[in-house]
Amino acid sequence: MPDFIYPVKIHHLFISPGHNYWGRPDRDPGPFSTDSPESITLDAGKGIRGDRYYNRKPDYDGQITFFSHEVYEDVKSLLAIENRSPIHFRRNVIIEGVPLNQLIGQPFSIDGIEFSGSAHCTPCKWMDFGFADGALKALHGRGGLRCRILSDGILSTGNHQLSSSLELDLSKILNPILPKPLP
């Protein structure tokens, strides 16, 4: 089956050596900084070098996380916010041009680096604290994509090509993931 090729743009890359929010439901955020490098090194089955989830456990489904630049812009508009960085979403890759929810359960690659979309990256209550009041509600069903890294590589900001065996509906980039119907 031929692959479908989509032009995408990576606007930002973020990594952090520690967890500022995870496991801290009733405490202030942790003290760890978040870096925004121009490129990140990916190790298959392990994650992003220097990131808090690197080599967390075998087959971890969140070795790298993607977040839609279009959703970021939409949330800023919905909440009437102008100058707030997507760094507050705590996702690794801010990408434009692809409906991330359609890649759940799908293999894909970016410039030859292979990934497997494993799950929706469900937003938590910290989104209201970290980004702005109302962010959690605005992100419902569109919090990003958790992935496994299937091949080593270096991912950088800028223009790239995403390849998928699935034909994606680019008109649905802003659409939330729909709940599965009950049996």
What mean pLDDT do residues 8-19 have? 86
| Helix (H), strand (E), coil (C) string for 3-17 | CEEEEEEEEEECECC
pLDDT of residue 89: 84
Task: Give the three-state DSSP class for 64.
Answer: strand
**Closest to 156 (Cα-Cα) out of 46, 52, 36:** 36
Measured between alpha carbons, how far is 124 from 111 in angstroms, rounded to an integer?
Answer: 31
Split at pLDDT 50, 70, 90, the class of 125 is confident
What tokens does 82 get?
A: 């102008």
Bridge partners (DSSP) of residue 159 are: 9
> 4-16+38-164 maps to which CATH number?
2.40.33.20
Q: Considering the chain, what is the average pLDDT of its residues? A: 88
Q: What percent of the chain is modeled with pLDDT above 70?
A: 87
Task: Give the three-state DSSP class for 164.
Answer: strand
What tokens does 142 get?
A: 């569109």
Q: Summarize pLDDT for 24-47 with one digit per residue, the tens.
A: 455 555 555 677 789 999 999 999
Q: Which sign does the torsion angle of CA 118, 121, 86, 44 carry?
A: negative
Whether the predicted pLDDT of 2 surpasses 60: no
pLDDT of residue 25: 52
Residues with Cβ within 8 Å of 25's Cβ and at least 6 positions away in sequence, in order, are 125
Q: What predicted TM-score, i.e. pTM, was given to this entire model?
A: 0.90
The angle subtended at Cα 22 by Cα 8 and Cα 152, nearest 5°, is: 40
| For the chain, domain boundaries | 4-16+38-164
Q: Return the residue matching tokens 């270096």.
A: 154
- Whether the CB-CB separation of 141 and 174 falls below 8 Å is answered with no
**Closest to 104 (Cα-Cα) out of 73, 61, 44:** 61
**Closest to 164 (Cα-Cα) out of 97, 119, 93:** 97
